[in-house]
Amino acid sequence: MERWFTEYYTGNTRFEIAYTEKLMEEQSPFQKIEVFQTDDFGKILVIDGYLMITEKDEFIYHEMLVHVPMAVHPNAGQVLVIGGGDGGAVRELLRYPEIQTIDLVEIDERVVKACRKYFPEISGGLGDPRVSCHYQDGTVFIKEKKKTYDLILIDSTDPVGPGEGLFGKEFYQNCSDALKENGILVNQHESPYYPGDRRSMLRAHQRLQEVFPLAEVYHFHMPTYASGLWLFGFASKGLHPVKDADFEAWQERKISTGYYNPDIHRAAFALPNFLKQQLEGTGTKGWCLL
Ligand code: AG3
């Protein structure tokens, strides 16, 4: 008998992966956590019915989350990751010797436990001496921090359930206060195709633009997220995501990557017209607006 993991993108469109075994299912105080073994994507982590990571393509998401801002920031020493309990973002950050401390603020300790058990290759860096794990609500943690971080990564779930506050304007303002003068914020920014994701994307973009002098989005191809086209936001008090990137310095570090490279970095900020129009609120032609 075939068993399927199903994620509904809308009431009428869904994505399915057959699994060979359900390795765990747990209702934590915050959310439902599931891990499945699949043939095509390796192990997959699902939270509240939404696919978070697959062993096959998580590198794309985590490389684009980390290497884009790291190629721009001239010297990131203090980094904050909010969410990211799987450890994928931390794994990529640890490849930079100039990073001295990483605070990981994950609301749900059960996610970390599950990932340490089932995804050791992704979560392995969480025990590194440079990393401090705080099991706390990121919206509360951030309030105490002023001019502390060079880089803040918001590696969140979707804006339903525990992830919701991580898309709020007050939270973004607190992130801005917690960043040093040349700090950068990168956030999980949803996607333009399906209406629910699009609404979240537009709301996040508007709020970030209200808080930060510079707020842009960049895209990457994520096979197992709705529509395959996914976005991160890049916000700063001045540093430009392409003009201020130092690609030579990045390449000198000889970090081997499966997706990220300087051409991809530049191209990620080149947006298709329909997306530009959506973000500017001028999408009158109806491209992808259904
Ligand atoms: N964070 C979730 C990204 C959004 C997925 N959304 C969806 N499947 N509807 C992934 C965390 C990886 N560290």
Residues 124 and 255 in one domain: yes
In this model, does residue 289 exceed pLDDT 70? yes
- Give the pLDDT mean for 128-136: 98
Q: What angle do CA 88, 91, 97 make, to 5 degrees?
A: 150
In this model, does residue 31 exceed pLDDT 70? yes
Contact 118, 139 (CB under 8 A): no
The pLDDT value recorded for residue 136 is: 97
Please tell me the distance between residue 256's alpha carbon and the centre of ligand 1 in angstroms: 24
Cβ-proximal residues to 161 (8 Å cutoff; 6+ apart), any chain: 30, 31, 48
Question: Which tens digit of pLDDT belongs to each residue from 187-232?
Answer: 999 999 999 999 999 999 999 999 999 999 999 999 999 999 999 9
Residues 11 and 131 in one domain: no
Please tell me the distance between residue 218's alpha carbon and the centre of ligand 1 in angstroms: 16
Take atom 2 of ligand 1 and give the residue whose Cα is closest: 157
Residues 35 and 143 in one domain: no
Contact 176, 211 (CB under 8 A): yes
- Give the pLDDT mean for 169-192: 97
Residues 103 and 7 in one domain: no
- What domain range includes position 145? 58-289
Total domains in the chain come to 2
| Residues in a beta bridge with 80 | 103, 152
Burial of 92 (0-12, 13-18, 19+ CB in 10 A): buried
Residues 114 and 210 in one domain: yes
Tell me which of 39, 54, 69 is where a domain ends: 54
Contact 84, 91 (CB under 8 A): no
pTM exceeding the 0.75 threshold for the entire prediction: yes
Contact 161, 107 (CB under 8 A): no
For residue 29, the domain's CATH number is 2.30.140.10
| Biggest alpha carbon–alpha carbon distance for the chain | 57
Please tell me the distance between residue 249's alpha carbon and the centre of ligand 1 in angstroms: 30
Tell me which of 54, 80, 95 is where a domain ends: 54
Residues 78 and 176 in one domain: yes
Catalytic status, residue 48: no
Take atom 9 of ligand 1 and give the residue whose Cα is closest: 50
Residues 138 and 39 in one domain: no
The pLDDT value recorded for residue 286 is: 67
Residues 95 and 193 in one domain: yes
Please tell me the distance between residue 67's alpha carbon and the centre of ligand 1 in angstroms: 18
Residues 122 and 176 in one domain: yes
- 220 sits in which H/E element: strand 214-221
| Residues in a beta bridge with 16 | 6
For residue 129, the domain's CATH number is 3.40.50.150
Residue of 57, 103, 108, 155 marked catalytic: 155
Instruction: Report the first-to-last Cα separation within the chain, whole angstroms.
Output: 36
Alpha-carbon gap, residue 174 to 63, rounded angstroms: 25
Residues 262 and 163 in one domain: yes
- 174 sits in which H/E element: helix 169-178
Take atom 1 of ligand 1 and give the residue whose Cα is closest: 157
Tell me which of 54, 70, 97 is where a domain ends: 54
Q: Which residues does ligand 1 sit against, CB inside 6 Å?
A: 50-53, 61, 84, 86, 88, 155, 157-158, 188, 225-226
What is the average pLDDT value for the chain, to the nearest integer? Answer: 96
Residues 40 and 114 in one domain: no
Atom from ligand 1 closest to the CA of residue 61: 12
Residues 266 and 233 in one domain: yes
Alpha-carbon gap, residue 168 to 191, rounded angstroms: 17
Atom from ligand 1 closest to the CA of residue 84: 13
